[in-house]
Amino acid sequence: MSTPGAFRYLFTAGACLLLLPLKMIQGWNAEAAFPLFSSWVADCCFLFWLCWLGVEAGGARPPRKLVLGGLVFGLLQLPALLTIGTHTFFLEEATARQFSLLDATPDAVLFFLREVTPPELLLAGAGVLLALVAAAWLLRRRVAIPPRRPMLLVAGALTCLVLIHQALCQFYPTVLWEVGRDVIEAYSHPAVEGAPRAEELADAGVGRPADWSGPIAYDKVLVFVMESVPWRELQERRRELPPEHFFNRHLAHAHVYSNYFTTNQDSRTGLLAMLFGRLIPFEAYTERDARRYLFLKTEPSLVDRLSAQGFATAVAAAQTDVELVVFELPSWDEQLVLSQAQFEDHGPFLCFNPYKFEHDCEDKILLPRILATLAAHPRVFVLQEGVYGHIGDYYRATGQSATAYYGDHLQAVVEHLQARGELERTLLVVTSDHGIRDWEYRQRRWVYRLPLLFVNPGLSPREEPGLYNQSDFPALLAAELSGRPPPAPRRVSLFVGCTNSSVLGGVSAEGDLLVVKNRRWRKYVLAEGHCSGDDLPDGPARHPIRAAGLIGTFERLQESFTRAGLAGGAAR
């Protein structure tokens, strides 16, 4: 006769044994072994407490045992195991980003299952789960379960020890700790209060008007969008490089916009803001939100404006599965992407496949095609979306910072254009898609400030200190192409955090930062004040932005997008 709950205890023990090598292998590059082992103990303790709860809830009578015990097992323990296993498998990505289980939506879960997780992994996971069930069922009468009281004492002691250790760690490789951290954060910060109106933010969703009248001084325009490189990082890293490096040599011939900020902490929506001249008030990768801005296909973009000026247009990214929104909403003449065959036979270039939907190679693999496109048209506009640095494997494989790598890439373009005698008629534009998205950086102002450089040998060095953001990019580009001064700067600029972060925020021209968490179950202020060092707020705001007004502004923008989507476009 089996001990009551033997099946569940054996199932839990088997699951924990399988989680240990998975945790250690998947987290090896992210952290030392001891924090990983500690987090595994925490996960196991939690699963065993749920197991004990299910056994106790089941009681002695068979009907109650089947119903209540089964509910605890099916609705609590099994989902917890699947969540812990998924988090462990994607450990480095899950712990590095701002993603939170408490912010996950049904759409995000479906997207994860359909697009991120390979089908073979789902089948393998289902197979392992069934094998665990079968093994626990067969062994339930053959393996003696330890006495309950000593087992509870051991589990309680281990739980206390790992909680103390996790509290002293700076790295939290367990989803349980992250959930607890998020709950504590939510109730230790002030809730958003006040009226949701803010007239000063009325134009926050629209970029500055672009003036396309008059002659254009350049025949070729190459916009290079770096991956996750904020302005401060570019400045610091370039000082480590030799004087002849691109970012040191060509600043003497550049117009620098030193107060240029992100509108979106996802590359897809950041690029859309640049191309359509408007803030995208949604996150990027939930299918529901993506559908809400698909109507932009019916609206004119920067690509259409340049096409009307006689430019051929091309977009490039060293991927096989590209971000279709950026590649398909604007009307590009040419799309430069990798074929699957080129990805598989990539020669000396680095290529990685971190997810099902992402087959990336370093950006230099596209350099011959970029140069050929620049040479093939008398007037051409090319936008290249950088890939290097999208995952940490590139840095580990080369030992190069993104600044060093991208500078080498751009220098190769410069040398090609110079050899063809076309450099003087080419405007190189260098910027970034978004800032650093790691959880610990959310409250730092410099993280949201992006580089924006317009480079040409004929330009005298000039710094533009006015506040602008990615939705102003068409207006700034139009001004640089024609040699006119830029449009009037902003007083306030707003941004959306990355998918599943629930972050909304704003910066002011006076150096203020406001970051709020717009969670469904609680809205609270994460950071607010003046940033004298462009880092953490260290004083009262000089141009206060009301948190309620910021949230209200985004709600109105989202409503506008929803109406436009239903009507087929044209709403602002």
Measured CA to CA, the distance from residue 293 to residue 569 in angstroms comes to 9
Indicate if 203 and 165 belong to the same structural domain: no
Long-range contacts of 164-170, Cβ-Cβ distance < 8 Å, separation of 24 or more:
165/35, 165/38, 166/35, 166/38, 166/39, 166/42, 169/35, 169/38
Kindly report the CATH number assigned to the domain that includes residue 454: 3.40.720.10
Within a 10 A sphere around the Cβ of 160, how many other Cβ atoms?
Answer: 11
Indicate if 160 and 307 belong to the same structural domain: no
Residue 194: inside a domain: no
Q: 21, exposed or middle or buried, with CB in 10 Å at 0-12, 13-18, 19+? A: exposed
Residue 550: inside a domain: yes
At residue 282, what is the residue type? F
Residues in the chain: 572
Residue 529: strand, helix, or coil: strand
Under a CB-based contact definition with an 8 Å cutoff, are residues 437 and 498 in contact? yes
Indicate if 383 and 282 belong to the same structural domain: yes
Angle at 194 between CA 189 and CA 196, to 5 degrees: 110
Per-residue pLDDT of the chain (572 residues; tens, 9 = 90+): 456 678 888 999 999 999 988 888 876 655 677 888 888 888 898 998 988 888 887 765 666 666 777 888 888 889 999 888 888 887 766 655 545 777 777 777 777 777 777 788 889 889 999 999 999 888 888 877 777 777 778 888 888 887 777 777 766 678 887 788 888 999 999 999 887 776 678 788 899 999 998 899 999 999 999 999 999 999 999 999 999 999 999 999 999 999 999 999 999 999 999 999 999 998 887 777 778 888 898 899 999 999 999 999 999 999 987 777 888 889 999 999 998 888 889 999 999 886 655 788 999 999 999 999 999 999 999 999 999 988 778 888 899 999 999 999 999 999 999 999 999 999 999 999 999 988 788 999 999 999 999 999 999 999 999 999 999 999 999 999 999 999 999 999 999 998 878 899 999 999 999 999 998 889 999 999 999 999 999 999 998 889 999 999 999 999 988 888 777 654 44
Residue 181: inside a domain: yes
Indicate if 428 and 535 belong to the same structural domain: yes
Residue 482: inside a domain: yes
* Closest to 324 (Cα-Cα) out of 368, 272, 371, 361: 272
Residue 542: inside a domain: yes
Indicate if 127 and 240 belong to the same structural domain: no
Indicate if 299 and 376 belong to the same structural domain: yes
Indicate if 386 and 429 belong to the same structural domain: yes
Domain coverage including residue 329: 199-209+219-567
Residue 232: strand, helix, or coil: helix
Q: 444, exposed or middle or buried, with CB in 10 Å at 0-12, 13-18, 19+? A: buried
Indicate if 431 and 525 belong to the same structural domain: yes
Residue 168: inside a domain: yes
- Tokens standing for residue 227: 């991956």
Based on DSSP, count helices (H) and strands (E) in the chain, helices before strands.
22, 17
Indicate if 335 and 473 belong to the same structural domain: yes
Indicate if 183 and 263 belong to the same structural domain: no
Residue 214: inside a domain: no
Residue 12: strand, helix, or coil: helix
Indicate if 283 and 165 belong to the same structural domain: no
Residue 193: inside a domain: no
Angle at 329 between CA 328 and CA 331, to 5 degrees: 80
At residue 418, what is the residue type? Q
Query: In this predicted model, what pLDDT tens digit does every residue of 494-523 receive, in sequence order?
Result: 999 988 788 999 999 999 999 999 988 899
Residue 171: strand, helix, or coil: coil
Q: Give the C-alpha distances (Å, rounded to integers) separating 384 from 98, 224, 379.
A: 26, 5, 17
- The total domain count for the chain is 2
Indicate if 173 and 303 belong to the same structural domain: no
Q: Is the dihedral of CA 9, 10, 15, 16 positive or negative?
A: positive
Q: Which DSSP category does 333 fall into?
A: S
